[in-house]
Structure 1
């Protein structure tokens, strides 16, 4: 158990509804304000199927932050490589969300630490994450947790 009573652990089938709820909140809070091209209903429409498949995929990670049986956060990760172009294993942090009332209590830090440990255990030499440039709080969080800018994606409307 952590110092704040929230346990970070691998997700189980019993956690799927909580993960979908956290993913829905993430889409509404983050993508909903930073990316008008995303289907904000994706978690409700497709999340259960996608997250269910991820639980049995050895190259995917599904973590939850559990406060006495209530899922208050989640993290997803994926392993890629090696490939002939990039002959190393890279772990990508796909999504992370912590409910607002739990922020500032090291829940996100604990999720990222578990992700990094999982990535190292599976032979990853690098870890990456994508954040919206407009989400300055997320960028600061990732920088505090050891990530630094490596590339920039630029888009334009057509």
Structure 2
């Protein structure tokens, strides 16, 4: 069986719960992506156009948010799953920063999002663009929004991890 790492960022705990379920099902290791500056509830108020998250998400495609230098080495993993919330239709900008800083060559990558109001197509395009920008030789599986146990199981079965 291939070794799998589940990496995730969770602002409110929702994505963390899904990442933990995936880790349990796959008997995979799990690690959290940490922003240098944690997000407060005020930072996440999507109704306010001047909040931190809104401003960050409205950046150009190459926008990045600094993360702590504590990502695990991928040397012992064949598969990497990255989970994140969906903000303004795409992953938080710190996910691109994480992808920039991971040694993904030769790995199989899958990403998932948590959201109550959007699909995963724009997020998938965003992840794939970031992978291309880094010139990684990596297979990117089709991601999905995972909001239920059955959605998690169906998605994991489609990955063949």
> When the two structures are superposed, what TM-score results if normalisation uses the length of structure 2?
0.38
Higher helix share: 1
Q: Which structure is larger by alpha-carbon Rg, 1 or 2?
A: 1
> When the two structures are superposed, what TM-score results if normalisation uses the length of structure 1?
0.39
